[in-house]
Amino acid sequence: MSTYFRHSSKTMMKLWVLLCLCLGDVHGRKNVLFLVSDDMRPNIGAYLGPDFPSPVHPKMHTPNLDALAARSLLLKRAYVSVALCNPSRTALLTSRRPETSHIWDIGPYFRQYGGNFTTLPEYFKQNGYRTIGMGKIFHPGNSSGGDDPVSWTDTYAHAPDDYKLHNLLIEAVSEERAKALPLQDQLLAEYAIQALKEVAPKARSGEQPFFLAVGFRKPHIPWNFPARFKEYYPLESLRLPPNYYAPVGMPAIAWHNFVNLTRFKDMQPYHVPNAGSINYTFPDQITLEMRQAYYSCISYIDYELGRVIAELDNQGLTNNTIISFWGDHGWQLGEHSEWQKMTNFEDATHAPMMIHVPGATDHGVVTEKLTEFVDLYPTLVELAGLPKLDMCPPNSQNVSLCTEGTSMVPLMTNPTSEDWKTAAFSEYARIGNGLAGETVIGYTMRTELYRYTEWVNFKPMPIYKPLWDQQLGVELYDHTKDPEENYNRADDPSYKDIRAELSRNLRLGWRGALPKTRT
Ligand SMILES: *[C@@H]1O[C@H](CO)[C@@H](O)[C@H](O)[C@H]1NC(C)=O
Ligand SMILES: *[C@@H]1O[C@H](CO)[C@@H](O)[C@H](O)[C@H]1NC(C)=O
Ligand SMILES: *[C@@H]1O[C@H](CO)[C@@H](O)[C@H](O)[C@H]1NC(C)=O
Ligand SMILES: *[C@@H]1O[C@H](CO)[C@@H](O)[C@H](O)[C@H]1NC(C)=O
Ligand SMILES: *[C@@H]1O[C@H](CO)[C@@H](O)[C@H](O)[C@H]1NC(C)=O
Ligand SMILES: *[C@@H]1O[C@H](CO)[C@@H](O)[C@H](O)[C@H]1NC(C)=O
């Protein structure tokens, strides 16, 4: 082949690519494999490290997530908008925070209470992608009008859960039993593998890219899982929570009562009068068994995720598919003597997130910069080359397409960038009717050094405004000397100036903490 010919075919190629981009043509765009896990805190091998903020032990068996992390942008400090499924997922999938979506709880649907926002999968659909959803992506049922039908090109799929009816918090299932009566996430992985086989030919030829969203249910309770995963976590190797007590000086409003955990048949012995209240602790044995079951479920999901990722490879799609993974919020496993999510502590608001971009993150990029779940939407849009989103104006209920996040793409080349957000914001509605009738909200902000929270009265629908001068509790945790958040220093006179500054910044909100070049 002559040099001239090669040169000219390259030029032709460039022109063709340019043409495709200008016309917004979908041909040759990267696919997206969008993987989600329910209630998975960052208890993943890849998150281990001396600098890592949340208590991660024992050694986790998560080979597939570790391998994905090793070829991804690993967001070591990503924070959810709300430590509860529906509001967290709504924020991520619409890139609107609760003040805009008006979603703080399970039940209400953002299209009814917030606005007719274009969701992340819907935007890919509008741009010519085949969008397929399965499992838990939006919170199912009323919270999403039944998995937000407008987001998907294909019929939405759920795998049945035949174990739920057993009403057991912990159920280790033998291999034979799991064969005869498959676990829900086992089935879901198989659905995902089937879907990949189906979309692969057109994705390979460049005819139509896909956005495949797969939402696994574990380690959400109840913890049913293949028994073999318990072997990675022998009880004698497990430890009790290092801080099996509520923080000193914690205001009562910060507390989530977890008595609901004792509703299961196998938890009846612990259904005692004070179960779930501040400083209630389960006996050591069941505490360890609960931790063991949670860890086992993480390893189980790691295995199922691994099967789906392997199929992507089998189909020859690895080189042109972006893979994102996230868990919808953290989880307390007895830290603070607290269980479940539904608080504003680090353990509940901090969640795993990673993004593999072929050709850009293949050798792994780790960042400890503060990031937020609303950032994923604009990031994936930029990575796929779709038209970028504008920053939302205030009160953007009538703006269908915009973002309240910041694309994380710059962190891929500069993971220690100084020009980045100075805080990550979360909030939790403690009192209210769930249907945009919240009356007490705890606003929290994680900065490099501190976590700062104010619980205040809230004027619900149709006003939706915090009443900052009607405070019900303030928390200040100093992560430089107290990464477990065991001492509330809000009333410590030596933190007076710090508290004042943090309070100012909390009220300024997320727009006040944006990177300088992107405000
Ligand atoms: C919401 O927006 C979609 C387009 O994204 C449109 O098809 C639909 O009619 C809108 N629904 C309402 C209730 O306005
Ligand atoms: C869902 O919404 C319908 C109609 O508003 C209501 O009747 C039903 O009780 C709701 N279901 C749940 C589980 O909240
Ligand atoms: C919970 O226990 C811790 C540690 O013993 C103690 O400092 C704290 O005051 C207790 N909280 C309440 C509300 O009893
Ligand atoms: C306990 O959790 C179940 C399942 O999420 C829910 O249906 C029930 O309303 C909860 N009960 C209480 C008292 O919170
Ligand atoms: C993907 O790209 C890499 C480097 O460009 C190459 O070594 C590898 O063989 C490719 N794999 C597939 C499945 O195309
Ligand atoms: C959105 O549009 C509706 C109908 O035109 C209007 O009543 C409402 O005030 C608007 N909301 C905002 C926040 O602009």
- Number of neighbouring beta carbons within 10 Å of residue 28: 15
Residue 190 reports pLDDT greater than 50: yes
Contact 210, 264 (CB under 8 A): no
Ligand nearest to the CA of 399: 6
SS3 state at 343? coil
Please state the atom number of ligand 2 nearest to the C-alpha of residue 142: 1
pLDDT single digits (tens) 401-417: 999 999 999 999 999 99
For the stretch 200-215, pLDDT in tens is 999 999 999 999 999 9
pLDDT for 8 beyond 90:
no
22 band by pLDDT with thresholds 50, 70 and 90: very low
| Ligand 4 center to 260 CA (angstroms) | 6
Band (23; pLDDT cuts 50, 70, 90): very low
pLDDT at residue 1 tops 60: no
Active site residue 139: yes
| Whether pLDDT at 449 is above 60 | yes
Whether 70 shows a pLDDT value over 80: the answer reads yes
Ligand 6 contact, 394 CB (< 6 A)? no
Counting ligands in written order, the one closest to the CA of 107 is: 2
Ligand 2 atom 2: the closest Cα is on which residue? 142
pLDDT at 432: 87
Query: What confidence tens digit (pLDDT) does each residue in 335-378 have?
Result: 999 999 999 999 999 999 999 999 999 999 999 999 999 999 99
| Cis amide bond preceding 352, omega within 30 | no
Q: Dump pLDDT digits (tens) for 76-92.
A: 999 999 999 999 999 99
Cβ contact 280:274 at 8 Å? yes
Per annotation, catalytic residue among 139, 256, 336, 356: 139
CB 322 within 8 A of CB 34: no
Across 283-301, average pLDDT: 98
The CA distance from 41 to 484, in Å, is: 15
Average pLDDT for residues 101-106, to the nearest whole number? 96
- CA pair distance 46, 43, nearest whole angstrom: 9
- pLDDT at residue 4 tops 60: no
Provide CATH code, domain 2-422: 3.40.720.10
Residue 302 has pLDDT above 70, yes or no: yes
Q: Which residue matches tokens 């792994």?
A: 364
User: Which of 243, 256, 279, 475 is the pocket-test mutation for ligand 3 (most atoms within 8 Å of CB)?
Assistant: 279
Enter the DSSP assignment of 345. S
Sheet of 440-446: strands edge to edge? 424-431, 440-446, 450-459, 465-478
Residue (of 191, 188, 230) closest to 38 by Cα position: 188
Q: 81 or 517: whose pLDDT is higher? A: 81
Classify residue 111 as left (phi > 0), alpha (psi -120 to 50) or beta: alpha
Q: What percent of the chain has pLDDT over 70?
A: 93
Q: Are strands 73-79 and 353-356 parallel, antiparallel or unpaired?
A: antiparallel
Residue 19's pLDDT band (boundaries 50, 70, 90)? Answer: very low
User: What secondary structure does DSSP assign to 140-160, as a single string?
Assistant: PGGGGTTT-GGG-SS--B---
Burial class from Cβ neighbours inside 10 Å (0-12, 13-18, 19+) for residue 130 reads buried
What pLDDT, on the 0 to 100 scale, is given for residue 297?
Answer: 98
Q: What number of residues does the chain have?
A: 519
Mean pLDDT score of the chain: 93
Is the model's pTM score more than 0.85? yes
Please say if the pLDDT value at position 20 is more than 50: no
Smallest-distance ligand from the CA of 278? 3
Q: What would the mean pLDDT of 295-308 be, rounded to a whole number? A: 98
Compute the distance between CA of residue 135 and CA of residue 188 in angstroms, rounded to an integer: 7
Nearest residue (CA) to ligand 2, atom 10 = 142
Domain boundaries, the chain: 2-422
Asked, as a colleague might, if the bond just before 63 is cis with ω within 30 of 0, I would say no
